[in-house]
Amino acid sequence: MTREEIEAVLRAEMHKIAPDIEIDDIDRQEDLRDEFDIDSMDFQNLVGALSKRLGIPMPEADYGQMGSFDAMLDYLTDLAG
């Protein structure tokens, strides 16, 4: 998958969890949970959905690499790109 395709997947999953947030308005380098106003349960559901759609395990030990929208996109592109 290209980075663009992966970004489309990430955007779609973020929209499911935080439909009231316009992704173009967020700071892509800031804390993902703050920007989308999501809690640890939402985050785990997001990781679950991405893991299934992209076929990658996304272990908890890697959560530190998923801190912002851009960091998450880099991480996903590295593993599923």
Partner 1 sequence: MAAFVMPSLGSDMDAGTLVEWLKKPGDKVHRGDIVAVVETQKGAIEIESFQEGILTGYLTDLGKKVPVGTPLAVIKEEGKDDPDDEALMAGVAPIAVMPSAPAQTPVVAANKEIEKAPPSAGARLKISPAAGRLAQTSGIDPSTLTGTGPQGSIVLADVMARLEQKRGPALPATKAVREGGEQLTGMRAAIAAAMAHSKREIPHYYLSQTVDLTDAEQFVAKVNAGRPPENRLLLGTLFVKAVALACRKFPEFNGHFEDEAFHASAAVHAGMAINIRGGGLVAPAIHNAETLDLDTLMDKMRDLVARVRAGRFRATELADPTITVSSLGDRGVDSLYGVIYPPQVAIIGFGTPVMRPWEQDGEVTLKRVVTVTLAADHRVSDGHSGARFLNAIEKHLHKPEDL
Interface residues with partner 1 (CB under 8 A) are 18-22, 25, 33-34, 37-41, 43-45, 47-48, 51, 57-61
79 contacts: CB under 8 Å, gap ≥ 6: 54, 56, 58
CB of 66 to partner 1, least distance (A): 11
CB of 4 to partner 1, least distance (A): 20
CB of 33 to partner 1, least distance (A): 5
